[in-house]
Amino acid sequence: LAALDWLTSSDGGVWVLLMLLAVASSIWAMMFLARFVRNMVRRGLDKVLNLSQLLKSFIVTTVYWAVFVLGILIVLGLFGVNVTPLFAVFGGLSFILGFALQDTLGNLASGLMIMVLKPFDTGDYIYTAGTSGTVDAMSVVSTRIRTFDNQIIVVPNSKIWGDVITNVSASPERRVDLVFGIGYSDNTAEAIEILSSLVTAHELCLADPAPEIFVGELGDNSVNIFCRPWVKTDDYWTVFWDLTGQAKEQFDANGISIPFPQRDVHLIPTPQE
């Protein structure tokens, strides 16, 4: 009976319920405000052309959580909660975590450097830290890379920043480097002419910059012809595979051989006793 009276009293259960509703409403309002500010910041950053998508995403996420946490602290203050000790607790925790998470802080610093200096962005194909693939996403501590066979590799940012970064997608155009070996007895000029016609006929090969096709090396077993057409970066592998297959077919049709390493073995008989 006493419990029922407390639940129904204005300074008991009803007050607690109203306070819980007020706190829940305040949290929802802070989330709504944080999302509104996040959208406004995102629209403003979209107008800045020289910022990478990674840095924009980091700024937007940081603003969202900063507004949300600050709003919660303000709400607690309005409800009479003394938030000053919370700052002291946060300060002590940050000091302790600074020692415990040194590697994570190193990844954080590396992530910020990557975002500011922009060696790559989301959607770029990169080689770094012993792996390669398309950059799917990046946080302040790690980068998620998707390989050709759809594997997901998560690499700490400190590993990436401390290694050589090759951005394959940085330029809109890319040169395809192909090497075709033909026999020393074959007609070199004819082989070059066949490759030139294949490059000219391929719709994805660019006329400017002009392709280069020439004898580049006299190998141990073949005359190596270098074929170097220019393509759009997205068309690199399509052109690479197309020209490789077409060159093989045309060489076979015109009697041009593609030699393979051979070795002559001479047997010297030994006198029998």
Q: Does residue 123 sit in helix, strand or coil?
A: coil
Q: Residue 125: what pLDDT?
A: 92
CA-closest candidate to residue 178, choices 226, 218, 133: 226
> How far is it, in rounded angstroms, from Cα 109 to Cα 140?
8
Cβ pair 177, 171 in contact under 8 A: no
**Is the preceding peptide bond at 211 cis, omega within 30 degrees of 0?**
no
Q: What are phi and psi of 18, to 5 degrees?
A: -65, -40
CA-closest candidate to residue 259, choices 226, 227, 219, 228: 219
Select the more confidently predicted residue: 53 or 146.
Answer: 146
Report the chain's terminal Cα–Cα distance, integer Å: 121
The identity of residue 163, as a single letter, is D
> How far is it, in rounded angstroms, from Cα 30 to Cα 28?
5
- pLDDT, mean of residues 34-56: 78
Is the C-alpha dihedral spanning 40, 46, 51, 56 positive or negative? positive
Q: Does residue 169 sit in helix, strand or coil?
A: coil
Where is mean pLDDT largest: 39-48, 133-142, 191-200?
Answer: 191-200
Write down the mean pLDDT value for the chain: 83
Q: What are 161-204's pLDDT values in tens digits?
A: 989 999 998 899 999 999 999 999 999 999 999 999 999 999 99
Q: Residue 37: what pLDDT?
A: 85
Token pair listed for 228: 């170097």
Q: Is 130's pLDDT higher than 80? A: yes
Q: Which residue carries 């594997």 as its tokens?
A: 151
Where is mean pLDDT largest: 30-44, 100-114, 246-260?
Answer: 246-260
Select the more confidently predicted residue: 230 or 64.
Answer: 230
Q: Where are the alpha helices (DSSP H) in the chain?
A: 2-8, 13-46, 53-78, 84-100, 102-117, 157-161, 188-201, 236-253
Q: Does residue 67 sit in helix, strand or coil?
A: helix
Q: Return the minimum-mean-pLDDT range out of 8-12, 108-112, 243-247, 264-268.
A: 8-12
> How many Cβ atoms are within 10 Å of 138's Cβ, its own excluded?
25
The identity of residue 26, as a single letter, is S
Select the more confidently predicted residue: 253 or 72.
Answer: 253
Q: Return the minimum-mean-pLDDT range out of 56-60, 99-103, 149-153, 227-231.
A: 99-103
Q: Is 28's pLDDT higher than 70? A: yes
